[in-house]
Amino acid sequence: MPKFVITGASGGGKSTLISALAAKGYATVPEVGRRIVAEQVATHGTALPWLDQAAFMDLLFARSIEAFDEAGDAAGEIVFFDRSFYEALAYGAVIGRPVPQTMAAAAAARRFDTPVFVCPPWQDIFTTDDERRHGFDFALRDHAANVAIYQAAGYTLVELPRVPVAERVGLIAERLCDLSGPQPSNPSEKR
């Protein structure tokens, strides 16, 4: 089953893009990090980027691996991930924590299809909220670490332009056609 990941800067439009791809009929996996933050806040947990960065990284990695493995059940469908376990590894670089060997091995045992789509930093749409408390400077460091980790893992990256989400969806659809030929009008239909 083809698995593609969308990475890049926090606040760069990834989640909006994932929602638009879902509306077009693609299978999608929402960002794990935001779900973790919401859960931790609701339960007064401490595995949060502003309280316990190492615990957040560990939970982000474990849940992202689970999401990848669970997505293997949708036979033949293209699946788009809003970030992945590689972002947990990149987060280690941002916070100055070495990646444990067990995480590196678990990541190396799993592969996404290429290319990896990248949403670059986009200050005009960047916002903070209860789950994203960091500023744009952190988003820039996050972006650089994410791009570096995928490049180090041997992925081809395609940076999406800062254009409306419908245009980004069209560019991704064009790229998929280039990779595998024409797609059905409803991507969830069996070929």
Write the pLDDT tens digit of every residue in 15-42. 899 999 999 999 999 999 989 999 999 9
pLDDT grade for 182, boundaries at 50, 70 and 90: very low
Range of the domain at 114: 3-180
pLDDT above 70 covers a percentage of the chain that reads: 90
Residue appearing with tokens 């779900």: 35
Q: For residue 149, tell me if it sits in a domain.
A: yes
Cis omega (within 30 of 0) on the bond before 2? no
**Res. 155: pLDDT tops 70:** yes
Q: For residue 32, tell me if it sits in a domain.
A: yes
- 119 or 184, which is more confident? 119
Which of 10-14, 34-38, 47-51 has the lowest average pLDDT? 10-14
- 127 or 113, which is more confident? 113
Tally of structural domains, the chain? 1
What CATH number does residue 138 fall under? 3.40.50.300
pLDDT grade for 51, boundaries at 50, 70 and 90: very high
Write the pLDDT tens digit of every residue in 62-102. 999 999 999 875 556 899 999 999 999 999 999 999 999 99
Q: For residue 174, tell me if it sits in a domain.
A: yes
Q: For residue 163, tell me if it sits in a domain.
A: yes
- 184 or 150, which is more confident? 150
Residues 189, 191: Cα–Cα separation, whole Å:
6
Q: For residue 45, tell me if it sits in a domain.
A: yes
Q: For residue 122, tell me if it sits in a domain.
A: yes
Neighbours of 78 (CB within 10 A): 21
Q: For residue 188, tell me if it sits in a domain.
A: no
- 95 or 133, which is more confident? 95
Both structure tokens of 69: 């493995």
- pLDDT for the residue numbered 75: 56
Q: For residue 186, tell me if it sits in a domain.
A: no
* 161 close to 15: Cβ distance less than 8 angstroms: no
